[in-house]
A and B are shown apart, each in its own frame.
Chain A
Amino acid sequence: MAAKSPATRAVPSPLEWEYAPAPEARDILALEDRYGLYIGGEQVAPRSRKWFPTISPATEEHLAEVALAGPRDVDLAVQAARGAFEGEWSALRPAERAKYLFRIARLIQERSRELAVAESLNGGKPIKESRDVDIPLAAAHFFYYAGWADKLEYAFPNRKPRPLGVAGQIIPWNFPLLMLSWKIAPALACGNTVVLKPAETTPLTALIFTDICRQAGLPAGVVNIITGDGSTGAHLVKHPDLDKVAFTGSTGVGKAIRRELAGTGVKLTLELGRKAANIIFDDCALDQAVEGVVHGIYFNQGHVCCAGSRLLVQESIYEPLVAKLKRRLRTIRVGDPLDKNTDLGAINSRMQLDRIRELVASGEGDGAEMYQPPCRLPERGYWFAPTVFTNVAQSSRIAQEEIFGPVLSVLTFRTPEEAVEKANNTPYGLSAGVWTEKGSRILWMAERLRAGVVWANTFNRFDPTSPFGGYKESGFGREGGLHGLEPYLRFDR
């Protein structure tokens, strides 16, 4: 669509280009009015008799009613998982178990567009991300772990791997179905059964997943999905009949879970917060680095536990890099998550938006300089423009705390040693990025960065074969790859 520019101007400025709407069709998704809990292979009404609405954060449109599981519901779900573990699931040969996981992978592929639309609608993320990243990776994760189910003895030579039993799993709202697959695929591959609680604001794809379990013919009780809020998660973690707890979310909640499980012998993995450094050296390929920085922080509205939210730039290229970055920011398209051209979708919830606003205000108060490109934000829904802070002090809250939003803080360094020191100067250690054309420097930095994942000349790459997880207060345990099996197994020797 042509821009409405004054007749006097022959060539419209690129900044005034508009894109015709290119919405993804919604009719592929048929939502029910109400979703019960998925316990023992059936959708059941919650004993708590409580329901809550789930909405689209882009429009605040009501999508469906979802059950809020109480203590009794949690108990029933764990019982169902225990029953399946002690019955049919453990009696199954590993090679047959694998076939269910292969089936699930295939069904996710088959229903990928429907899942992508649901993900974008319920979570606010751009359709091109849910369609091209989240859902394909979720299917790939099941496919990868399906292959492990009958090969565990090769992953752990001279040990006897055995399933743990029932796993309680709590996932965040930033990659709902992908995080579900990170949790469920290895758990099932290792022979466990699960009770999974999706995030309060993004239950829909997990609920569609229950229908995929039905289509796959998965034995009842192997997967149980209980929707709810923080209280549901707390009940689940405290349940006395769990053998395993896996949590992805905030560091505060992670620490509380660690305390709660002290002395119980329940096996625990935590994937928590971060403040990832993205380190740009002056010998990097600058344009490529700018793209990487933009992808690193604005991908998924910055709702990424490993987002490159702290940019460390070598002083000699600070000015050209920031200039290029600001120019690039102006081309980010903010808007309807279901539009195929959208780069930056809606903030996931009112609560998250408030937190971003509060931290951004504190950044301004600390004297940092804020830049936001001119962009029109929709009136309804939860939105935040892509934001860059320059002149940020190392001690500032926006340089220290997890914002979990499209907000980037730019700091500088002079030498590689200083870059390492600044990057490691945080209680977290989930990921880091290094941008330089010099291979030996990449590896030198990788040796010194206290982070579970180091991306070099790329950022936010995920693959089922690649282990992911943090150092320090970013949690413990790894998800993905061969290393992702261990958290779901016990060993007789």
Chain B
Amino acid sequence: MSRIAVRKTYKLYIGGKFPRSESGRTYEAEGQNVARASRKDARDAVQAARGAFPKWAGATPYNRGQVLYRLAEMMETRAADLSRSCSGRREVERAIDRVVWYAGWADKLPQVLGGSNPVAGPYFNFTAPEPTGVVAVLAPELPPLEGLVSRIAPVIVSGNTAVVVTSETRPLAALELAEAIATSDLPDGVVNLLTGYRSELGPILAAHMDVNAIDVTGAGGETTELEILAADNVKRVIRAGSEQSPWEISAFLESKTVWHPVGV
């Protein structure tokens, strides 16, 4: 007699836990039942991200770099599972390499994006980048894994925390990735993943007063409404490219300038 497989229940990933949607809603995607996150789930995710922010932003850049590298290690060991959830092995490898590439930026950002400013006066003046805070990410529909990783890594490497709305039609890659994240050293709440309807979750996050920036790369050009909603707390609205670049990181950074007098 053939064995009947034990199937996985696909749930949300919030604050390091895998809850169902509080709404009890699900939808079918890729032949699987997945959670359909609600306004309250989004709120919980923002709360988890806000809670994780001070510690993650305060971690040393060296530590953040190592944690991201650890995530790449976890992804590599789950490459087979991840491959089944996206276009295949090549996409997984590109996604892993991208995480490693961004891991290397953690302790180099101020050296490329900051520096001292030669002001005309007896002052020492320097500018250093700092993370902006909680970032909402609307991940691209495709490629499901590489697109997602390409948006998450530049957000979190500098110390931001993220609430991500995954690909609506291909959410399984994100849920596999969540398991890699959960077993890496990434602190709970740094990355939170919501599956569901983008048209429902996007505006909720764009309007949320405790979200500092929203990455609308995956919103497919229709961003007018999101931009209007984002104005209430002057959210940064970021529309990024698909290439890896330090400018993808700098989009989610604030610049802080410090003055100090020079003299005996």
Contact = CB atoms under 8 A, between A and B. Distances in A.
B18 interface: no
A144 B263 contact: no
B260 interface: yes
Interface string B205-226: 0000000000000000000000
A482 B107 contact: no
B10 interface: no
Interface stretch (A17-25, A58-66, A148-156): A148-156
Contacts of B108: 144, 147-148, 151, 465, 482
A115 B149 CA distance: 36
B53 interface: no
B120 interface: no
A249 B246 CA distance: 37
Contact of B107 (A144, A150, A439): A144
Interface of B: 61-62, 65-66, 69, 97, 100-101, 103-108, 111-112, 124, 246, 260-264
B104 A147 contact: yes
B111 A140 contact: no
Contacts of B61: 465
Nearest to B124: A443
Contact of A155 (B69, B103, B112): B112
Interface stretch (A41-49, A94-102, A122-130): A94-102
A149 B97 CA distance: 13
B104 A151 contact: yes
B107 A465 contact: yes
Contacts of B101: 95, 150-151
Nearest to B261: A440
Query: 8 closest A-B pairs (Cβ-Cβ)?
Result: A147-B104, A443-B262, A440-B261, A482-B111, A440-B263, A443-B124, A416-B264, A444-B262
Nearest to A136: B62
Contacts of A154: 112, 246
Given A482-B108, A482-B111, A147 B264 contact: no
A481 interface: yes
Nearest to B123: A443
Contact of A444 (B105, B107, B111, B264): B264
B60 to A, nearest CB: 10
B101 to A, nearest CB: 6
17 contacts: A95-B97, A98-B104, A143-B69, A147-B107, A150-B101, A155-B112, A440-B260, A440-B261, A440-B262, A440-B263, A440-B264, A441-B263, A441-B264, A443-B262, A464-B62, A465-B107, A482-B108
Contacts of A440: 260-264
Interface size class of A (residues with CB under 8 A): 20 to 34
B100 A98 contact: yes
A144 B62 contact: yes
A95 B103 CA distance: 12
A147 B108 CA distance: 9
A204 interface: no
Interface in A426-445: 439-441, 443-444
A146 interface: yes
A149 B103 CA distance: 12
Given A147-B105, A151-B246, A444-B263, 6 more contacts: A98-B104, A148-B108, A151-B108, A465-B108, A482-B108, A482-B112
Given A465-B108, A481-B111, A147 B260 contact: no
A143 B66 contact: yes
B124 A99 contact: no
A443 B260 contact: yes
A481 B114 CA distance: 14
A7 B19 CA distance: 68
A447 interface: yes
A147 B246 contact: no
Nearest to B108: A147
Contacts of B260: 439-440, 443
B66 to A, nearest CB: 7
Contacts of A150: 101, 104
Given A148-B104, A150-B104, A465-B107, A143 B262 contact: no
